Amino acid sequence: MKAIEEEDKDEQIDREEQAPELECRGDAVMTVGKALLGMDLILVCFCGCRVRTCSYLFWWVIAEGVLGSILLGIRAYLKSEAEGRLNALEPDKSAVADTPI
């Protein structure tokens, strides 16, 4: 019985450690996504007329913008996944409130 409880505790500790790692990966992905979108903004601001006339640069800006947006979406997914894992590990507050003292 104690071995099963220790395994459950080890699994719970592993899940608790994985959630911050997911958030850290999400933050790294967000940084890259924001950098891509920022570079796109600079290209559009300073080379706006060239972006419209030069088809290669236009498609480069579009591809970079789409990739940056996808990375920001991935970050949102990773953050919600980490929060979901942490919330699943928390004890049910209603069950604790109903127990007699």
> Using 50, 70 and 90 to split pLDDT, how confident is the model at 73?
very high
Question: In this predicted structure, what is the pLDDT of residue 92?
Answer: 62
pTM of the model: 0.70
Question: In this predicted structure, what is the pLDDT of residue 37?
Answer: 92
Give the number of other Cβ atoms within 10 Å of residue 89's Cβ. Answer: 12
Residues 6 or more apart whose Cβ sits within 8 Å of residue 82:
19, 20, 22, 23, 26
Most confidently modeled range among 3-12, 60-69, 91-100: 60-69
Does residue 48 or residue 78 have the better pLDDT? 78
